[in-house]
Amino acid sequence: MKNYILTEQVAEKKLRRMAYEILENNHEEQQLILAGIRESGSVIARNIQRLLHEIAAVQTELIMITLDKTYPEEVSLSRPLPFDDKVIIVIDDVASSGKTLLYSMKPFLNFHPRKIEVLVLVERTHKAFPVEPDYVGLSLATTLQEHIYVEVEGEKVKGAYLE
CATH of the domain at 34: 3.40.50.2020
Q: Structural domain tally of the chain?
A: 1
Confidence of residue 142 (pLDDT cuts 50, 70, 90): confident
pLDDT, tens digit, for every residue of 111-131?
999 999 999 999 987 777 888
Starting at the earlier edge strand, list the strands of the sheet with 156-162: 3-7, 156-162, 148-153
Reported pTM: 0.93
Q: How far apart are CA 128 and CA 14, in angstroms?
A: 25
Is residue 118 within a helix (H) or strand (E), and if so which, with residue range? strand 115-124
Q: How far apart are CA 82 and CA 123, in angstroms?
A: 29
Does residue 161 surpass a pLDDT of 80?
yes
Q: How far apart are CA 141 and CA 71, in angstroms?
A: 25
Q: How far apart are CA 95 and CA 125, in angstroms?
A: 9
Residue 37's domain spans which residues? 3-162
- Do the Cβ atoms of 85 and 111 come closer than 8 Å? no
